[in-house]
Amino acid sequence: MRIGVVAVQGAFAEHIAVLERMGISAFEIRQEKDLSGSIDGLILPGGESTVMKKLLRELCLYNPIKELINNGVPVFGTCAGMILLSEIIESGEESCFGTMNVTVKRNAYGRQLGSFRCIEKFDGNDIEMPFIRAPYITEVREDAEVLAVHEGRIVAVRQGNQLATAFHPELTDDNTVFNYFINMIKNRVK
């Protein structure tokens, strides 16, 4: 299994470290030619979504990545990565891939509460969730399903081949969310 981690900006190294810890082969996606080999899964890390959006276009990664997502390659977006997948951004700014039928609110916890950790259930398991200037989901539509909620706000969603979390599981020792993603890859019907 080969998982590509988009490495144009943000917390990509942390995702690669988790995958290596799990014995899964991971590689960085920095330019179009990095997408030429086989790819079983894709990770969009946290960072700054506006910067990533711009760089993905400039580096000609936007179209090939959108095509992979539309072709059913499992994709996992954390934090800024969740924003990139969301169809609607509440502030009215233009969406990026927009492949998940959800509305997202950026920097949704305000400046004071920008960063915090909590324990909540993800798909039925208690896990630690680190939030960093995080978004949350304000609406899910069509077949997008809610996987985790914190204080009444949606912080993890799944829609077919797409998984997104407002928090950063790559900053904890718990592999629950990554195992969930790996199972999406294993169970993919090609």
Catalytic residue (one of 15, 79, 87, 150):
79
Cα–Cα distance measured from residue 8 to residue 80, given in angstroms and rounded to the nearest whole number: 12
Q: By rule CB under 6 A, what count of residues binds ligand GLN?
A: 11
Residue 15 is a catalytic residue: no
CB nearer to ligand GLN: pick between 54 and 133? 133
CB nearer to ligand GLN: pick between 40 and 48? 48
CB nearer to ligand GLN: pick between 40 and 128? 128
Q: Is 37 exposed, middle or buried (0-12, 13-18, 19+ CB in 10 A)?
A: exposed
Residue 96 is a catalytic residue: no
- The reply on whether position 83 binds ligand GLN by CB under 6 A is yes
Cα–Cα distance measured from residue 30 to residue 59, given in angstroms and rounded to the nearest whole number: 8
CB nearer to ligand GLN: pick between 106 and 158? 106
* Residue ranges with strand state E in the chain: 2-6, 25-29, 41-44, 75-78, 86-89, 100-105, 115-122, 125-132, 136-140, 145-150, 153-159, 162-165
Q: Is 81 exposed, middle or buried (0-12, 13-18, 19+ CB in 10 A)?
A: buried
Residue 79 is a catalytic residue: yes
- Tell me which of 25, 31, 63, 107 binds ligand GLN, using CB under 6 A: 107
The one segment of 21-29, 75-83, 144-152, 153-161 that binds ligand GLN by CB under 6 A: 75-83
Cα–Cα distance measured from residue 104 to residue 140, given in angstroms and rounded to the nearest whole number: 9
DSSP assigned state of 107: T
- The reply on whether position 104 binds ligand GLN by CB under 6 A is no
Task: Show the binding pattern over residues 116-145: x = contacts ligand GLN (CB under 6 A), - = does not.
Answer: ----------------xx------------
The one segment of 19-27, 59-67, 76-84, 119-127 that binds ligand GLN by CB under 6 A: 76-84
- Taking the complex as a whole, the smallest distance from the CB of residue 148 to ligand GLN amounts, in Å, to 16
Would you name the residues annotated as active-site residues?
A: 79, 168, 170
